[in-house]
């Protein structure tokens, strides 16, 4: 079993897209589980938007990983 790690920029983009989709759908009535999910999304976006990953893209992350490959870093 191999774990897949998301870069923070990918999480930021995913949550931003989900937030936009929810805004466009205009659903007002929400279950308590949905409210909890909205809170988690809000808090995560609030935190991530204060970090440099807000300005990163998958391409810049990929370029960084390629540049670091020769250094043979471990987890």
pLDDT for res 35: 86
Asked whether the whole model's pTM tops 0.75, one would answer no
Q: Which residues of the chain have pLDDT under 50?
A: 1-2
Write down the domain spans for the chain: 1-68
DSSP, res 17 = H
Do the Cβ atoms of 53 and 13 come closer than 8 Å?
Answer: no
Tell me which H or E stretch contains 66. helix 58-68
Do the Cβ atoms of 43 and 11 come closer than 8 Å?
Answer: no
Do the Cβ atoms of 34 and 63 come closer than 8 Å?
Answer: no
Q: How far apart are CA 68 and CA 16, in angstroms?
A: 29
């Amino acid at each position: 079993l191999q774990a897949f790690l998301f870069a923070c920029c990918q999480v930021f983009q995913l949550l931003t897209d989900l937030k936009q989709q929810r805004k466009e759908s205009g659903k007002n009535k929400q279950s308590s589980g949905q409210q909890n999910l909205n809170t988690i999304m809000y808090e995560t976006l609030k935190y991530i938007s204060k970090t440099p990953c807000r300005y990163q893209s998958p391409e810049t992350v990929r370029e960084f990983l390629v540049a670091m490959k020769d250094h043979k870093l471990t987890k």
